[in-house]
């Protein structure tokens, strides 16, 4: 296991390689006051909030990597009127935001990896930025979310789409459990640039050439355990597993098709 690294966009982007990582961190920051039926309590009228914190993530160096690394991870979840900022959806504006439906769009990070984390001869894949749109529907105590991010700078500049379903469960007055499952689809540009091996990379690394097409890239499952220390301070612990699918799992860059990940965060809610 490598040493802990400094904060920086590349580490957030690295975490984005596993979509439910961001779901997990956001869920830990966004845990709301839920009734036993799984619906928001009626007295919660003001949706604005400002949650900040820090934590650590134990994740693969890249999807399919042989090595794992420990990353410092910021926790941020801001909602101020139509504006939002969080690790999963980036920074943007909610066009619709009520107790049932949230639809928004903005910009977010895209995954990459460093030269030292990739097999020798493969080189780096810079982190990127993309435009993201998403929609969440809350019904019957469940939250269904679908989103898509189109890269326009750095990274693969490909298209990644994700779907997930989660269900907050009130275990006690202080403990909330949030199980989540999800899947990610990616276009040929993203999969080929992330998992592919070009002729020059093959010559430098000794790995066979490989081209990846579009299709479902991975499926994930995660459990978040949120513990309310005080009315403002929240401790989050989560763990999950991600399995590569389609062409991605057959890439010569992939050492392990199924990989665990874990997170520990401490967050503080500002304001009222």
Give the tens place of pLDDT for each residue, 74-89: 899 999 999 999 988 9
pLDDT at res. 127: 86
Residue whose pair of structure tokens reads 């989560």 in the numeric block: 238
CA separation, residue 143 to residues 76, 164, 166 (Å): 20, 8, 5
Q: List, for residues 115-159, the tens digit of each pLDDT value.
A: 999 999 999 999 889 999 999 999 999 999 999 999 999 889 999
- pLDDT at position 38, please? 41
pLDDT above 70: residue 179: yes
Q: What is the pLDDT of residue 30?
A: 53
pLDDT band at 37 (very low <50, low <70, confident <90, very high): very low
Quickly count: other Cβ atoms within 10 Å of residue 180's Cβ.
Answer: 23
The Cα–Cα gap between 80 and 48 comes to 5
Residue 32 has pLDDT above 50, yes or no: no
How far is 56 from 38, CA to CA, in rounded Å? Answer: 29
Longest distance between any two alpha carbons in the chain, whole Å: 63
Structure tokens at 207: 């790995």
pTM recorded for the entire structure? 0.85
- What gap in Å lies between CA 199 and CA 172, rounded to an integer? 56
Q: Is 80 in a helix, a strand, or coil?
A: strand
Domain locations in the chain as residue ranges: 9-270
Would you identify the CATH topology of the domain 9-270?
Answer: Porin (2.40.160)
Stretch 90-113: mean pLDDT: 93
């Amino acid at each position: 296991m490598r040493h802990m690294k400094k904060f920086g966009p590349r580490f957030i982007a690295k975490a984005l390689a596993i979509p439910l990582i961001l779901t997990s961190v956001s869920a830990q920051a966004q845990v709301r006051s839920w009734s036993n039926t799984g619906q928001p309590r009626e007295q919660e009228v003001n949706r604005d909030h400002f949650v900040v914190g820090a934590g650590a993530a134990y994740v693969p160096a890249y999807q399919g990597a042989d090595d794992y690394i420990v990353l410092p991870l910021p926790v941020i979840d801001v909602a101020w009127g139509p504006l939002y900022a969080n690790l999963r959806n980036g920074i943007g504006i909610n066009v619709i935001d009520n107790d049932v439906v949230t639809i928004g769009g903005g910009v977010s990070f895209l995954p990459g990896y460093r030269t030292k984390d990739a097999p020798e001869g493969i080189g780096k894949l810079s982190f990127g930025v993309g435009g993201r749109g998403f929609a969440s529907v809350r019904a019957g105590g469940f939250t269904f979310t679908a989103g898509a991010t189109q890269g326009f700078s750095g990274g693969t500049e490909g298209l990644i789409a994700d779907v997930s379903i989660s269900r907050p469960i009130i275990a006690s007055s202080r403990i909330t459990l949030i199980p989540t499952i999800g899947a990610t689809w990616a276009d040929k540009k993203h999969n080929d640039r992330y998992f592919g091996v070009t002729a020059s990379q093959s010559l430098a690394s000794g790995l066979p050439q490989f081209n990846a097409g579009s299709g479902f890239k991975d499926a994930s499952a995660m459990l978040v355990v949120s513990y309310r220390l005080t009315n403002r301070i929240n401790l989050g612990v989560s763990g999950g597993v991600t399995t590569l699918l389609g062409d991605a799992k057959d890439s010569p860059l992939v050492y392990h098709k199924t990989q665990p990940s874990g997170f520990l965060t401490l967050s503080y809610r500002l304001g009222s």
